[in-house]
Amino acid sequence: MATFSTLLFVAFGGGVGAVSRYAIQEIFNAGTRLPGWVAIFVANMVGCFIIGFGQIWLAAELTDATIAGTAVAHLISEQNIHHGMAALLVGFCGGLTTFSTFSLDNVFLSHGKFGQLTMNIFGSVLIGMVMATLGMSLAQRWMSV
Amino acid sequence: MVRFFISSVCVGFGGGLGALARYGSMQSLQLAGLPEYIALMVVNICGCFLIGIAFVWLEGSLRRDGTSRMRHLPVTQTLNDRNWWPDGDPTLPVVDHFFFALNLQVLAAVIITGFLGTYTTFSTFGLLAAQFVAQAGWVELMINLIGSVGLGYLAVWAGVFLGRSFVLR
């Protein structure tokens, strides 16, 4: 159910995520001599880790809030956690990571730079899955302590 | 530094709109009965197609200083004869040059980095892939990986070819 406040949190998280991705790009451009796709690769991997961690963490918080607390406190905290999910998972992680620039970089790399193209495609897909799994397992370990 | 702050505001504005558009698209596609990974694939491929159009349009019509990343692609080789690729145009006035660069920066920040970059997402794609591995859903995993990466690549090319016809017009 999309309430107006949820939309605000999604838009805010998306703006912050997009600015973070832009800042990562600029820092990589100014500070390193790496090719341009590396910045997008790093942003994507960081986002995969955060979404894995945040999903397990906020789901556990939601379970805690539904079990404990009075009726009013419970409603408020449940609402807060839904807003947190909208801002962090849908907004921030979605804004920090991008698929369109990844594909655009693949198109550029496919003209002659096949080594980097292979590194970008397989590296992003495999390491992204590993980072998401790592985030989920770290959050599970952290929540169970 | 000033350029960074101006671009940041543009990127943040475009990013907010892009996140809203993605949330709305995902919700409506899932309401229409598609599973989450197919809905995400549709959104990502649409974003890839649009970024192809937007990129070739912005680069072709606004970038005048000859530093485009598209110069070495085969798609632009055939266009050099048609005098649309303004490489090193010595007659270009300085003021025009400045305004073109400014327009290019603002438009690229809002449309490409902000809106389309945020409209598509890699993190949910990676999370769904990791969940398919954990649940041993190999068919969905393969559809997700090969479909998103392969069709996204083709969609960028399709966008570039379509955008080229706008620029040549």
Q: Phi and psi for A127 in degrees, rounded to 5?
A: -65, -35
* Nearest CB to B116 within list A96, A97, A100: A100
Confidence grade of residue B40 (pLDDT, cut at 50, 70, 90): very high
Whether the pLDDT of residue A81 is over 80: the answer is: yes
Q: How far is Cα B47 from Cα B97, in angstroms, rounded to an integer?
A: 30
pLDDT at B82 over 50: no
Question: A1 is written with which tokens?
Answer: 């159910």
| Residues from chain B contacting residue A29 (CB–CB below 8 Å) | none
Q: Does B7 touch chain A (CB under 8 A)?
A: yes
Give this complex's ipTM. Answer: 0.87
pLDDT-derived band of residue B6, with 50, 70 and 90 as boundaries? Answer: confident
> pLDDT over 90 for what percent of chain A?
58
Say yes or no to pLDDT of B99 above 90.
Answer: no
Which pLDDT belongs to residue B31? 92
Sequence-separated (6 or more) residues with CB below 8 Å from residue A127: A45, A48
Q: What is the pLDDT of residues A29-69, one digit of tens each?
A: 888 888 888 999 999 999 999 999 999 998 888 887 777 66
pLDDT tier for residue A75 given thresholds of 50, 70 and 90 = low
Q: CA nearest B73 in A: which residue?
A: A111
For position B169, what pLDDT does the model report? 55
Asked whether residue A74 carries a pLDDT value surpassing 80, the answer given is no
Least CB–CB distance from A14: residue in B73, B109, B118: B118
Query: Do B23 and A50 lie within an 8 Å CB cutoff?
Result: no
Range in A63-67, B93-97, B146-150 the model is least confident about = B93-97
Q: What is the mean pLDDT of residues B147-157?
A: 93
The predicted-structure confidence for A100-143, as pLDDT tens digits, reads as follows 999 998 988 888 888 999 999 999 999 999 999 999 999 999 88
Q: Tell me, yes or no, if A126 comes closer than 8 A to chain B by beta carbon.
A: no
The interaxial angle of helices B94-107 and B36-62, nearest 10 deg, is: 180
| pLDDT > 70 in chain B, percent | 72
What average pLDDT does range A63-77 have in this prediction?
69
Distance CA B63, CA B71 (A): 11
Dihedral sign for Cα atoms in the order B94, B95, B97, B102: positive
- Chain B, window 69-128: residues with a beta carbon less than 8 angstroms from a chain A beta carbon: 69, 72-74, 109, 112-114, 116-127
How many CA atoms within 13 Å lie on the side-chain side of B51? 33
Total count of domains within chain A? 1
The token pair at A135 is 């985030």
pLDDT tens digit string along B109-135?
A: 888 889 999 999 999 999 999 999 999
Would you state the structure tokens that stand for residue B86, as one six-digit string?
Answer: 């303004």
Give the pLDDT band of residue A2 (cuts 50, 70, 90): low
Question: What domain range includes position A132?
Answer: 4-144
**What does pTM read for this prediction?**
0.83
Three-state SS at A12: helix
The distance of A69 to chain B (nearest Cα, Å) reads 31
Write out the two tokens for B140. 């969905």
Predicted local confidence at residue B57, as pLDDT? 81
Closest partner residue to B121 among A2, A55, A99, by Cβ?
Answer: A99
Confidence check: pLDDT of A20 > 70: yes
Distance CA B26, CA B76 (A): 35
**From the CB of residue A44, how many other CB atoms can be counted at a distance below 10 Å?**
28
Q: Which of A4-13, B74-83, B90-99 has the lowest mean pLDDT?
A: B74-83
pLDDT at B65: 45
Domain residue limits, chain B? 2-168
